[in-house]
Amino acid sequence: MRRLCGTLFGQTARRRWLHLILGGALFMPYWLVGTVVVGALTGGGGLFAGSLTVQFGAYGVGLPLAAVTALFPLTRPMSVAAARALCGVEAGRFAEGPARGRSARARTAGWYTLHLGAGALLSGASLALPPFAVSVAALSFSAGLRRSELGRLWHLDQGWLAWAGLPLGILMLLALAAVAAATGRLLAAAAPRLLGPSPADRLAAAERRAAELAVRNRLARELHDSVGHALSAVTLQAGAARRVLDSGARSAAADLDFVREALTAIEQTTRRTVGELDAVLGLLRSGEDDGTLPAPGLEALDALVRGADPGAARVALTVRGELADLPEAVSREAYRIVQEGLTNAVRHAREETVTARIALSGDELEITMENPLPDGGRTAPVARPDGGRGLRGVAERARLLGGTAEAGPVDGVWRLAARLPVGGAR
């Protein structure tokens, strides 16, 4: 009994009933137009006629009108919003946005017509049947009602039949609830088929997810390269300064100058990185992305090298060609590649020299970075458990420009080599 009551009067059933009544309300303008048309054709009095022929004729005229107006683009978002809130169907089974293509528009028109047509009939029954059912139930308690036309119509005006009005009225109300629940269940079952995503909708959703993922990956690369490099450089600079102070030669002017330079490099690196971090976080807060992210180019290469050279690992930089003539995209991505290479190199080079070569040759920019491996390469470098994102980011940056990037041990050194086409970036 409890399960039956839940099926007929539970929250889901009530919401679906409300959804049907909403359909009936939406059908009202079409029905009014239909009454005018049918009344003019039959001479039945139009809007205020009590003829069932006019009423059902107006219903028949209104359904095609509803189907035609359902072809407008905004019909599906409106229908999806109502069905998602009231039909008890999982939100992920509905399509997003206006209908695209003939098939999607036809399915939307079918749903809209079904919703309004069923809603109109059930709304009319919900308005007319409860007062009638209450009147029939009241026959059991009022002799005056039993002698009325209603009592004589149902033959409840005498004898024990007078008490049949109460259960009959209750059965009418239960039948209305059952019809409403069954109709709501049928509409809920049809909603995913008629309002669900089409192949075009799935393709558009996949493209949106791919674009969002690309933006997230791009932001992750920028944060990893800028913040990761800054933290590595600051750590190396601070460690070198501490070793100088701990060496015992506190009065040596050269040592004090080195510590001063290390602290200056730490200040410049952190200030520059905070600016880059603010710019990236600003994009996250605004939710806007035009395909580019704020980042320095190769014009800031000298500052990058100074920040990565704490004295424990020396950087030998060689530049060939006019880097100022590079397209902005190539300069920006090349800067990030050099930054990642320096971050890895100075971390593992210890006292050895890091070699960086940047050469512009024709329509190609070549970036090569090398640092000696421990024990001449006989011992493989130990990767961090969560490492590898930086090198993947380097490869992704190169691919975005149509270039290539490789990294790995070669003849006792760790080499990062990237080739970026210059002409394609324009």
Q: Which of 161-175, 227-241, 275-289, 301-315 has the highest mean pLDDT?
A: 161-175
Asked if residues 365 and 419 have their Cβ atoms less than 8 Å apart, the reply is yes
**pLDDT band with cut points at 50, 70 and 90 for residue 17:** very high
Neighbours of 7 (CB within 10 A): 15
Burial of 388 (0-12, 13-18, 19+ CB in 10 A): exposed
**pLDDT band with cut points at 50, 70 and 90 for residue 292:** low
User: What would the pLDDT profile of 336-391 be if each residue is shown by its tens digit?
Assistant: 888 888 877 766 666 677 888 999 888 889 999 888 887 655 555 555 444 456 77
Question: What's the confidence (pLDDT) of residue 426?
Answer: 43
User: What would the pLDDT profile of 214-224 be if each residue is shown by its tens digit?
Assistant: 777 777 776 76
Q: Which of 104-108, 155-159, 321-325, 388-392 has the highest mean pLDDT?
A: 104-108
Half-sphere exposure of 322 (CA within 13 A, CB side): 4
- Give the H or E element holding residue 368: strand 364-372
pTM for this predicted structure: 0.54
Per-domain residue ranges for the chain? 2-197, 205-421
- Give the C-alpha separation, 354 to 315, whole Å: 5
Note the helical H segments in 70-198. 75-86, 101-138, 143-146, 149-153, 165-195
Q: What average pLDDT does the chain have?
A: 78
- Give the C-alpha separation, 135 to 126, whole Å: 15
Q: Which fold, 205-421? A: Heat Shock Protein 90 (3.30.565)
Neighbours of 361 (CB within 10 A): 11
Least confident span in 127-131, 142-146, 381-385, 417-421: 381-385
Residue 45: phi and psi, rounded to 5, are 100, -5
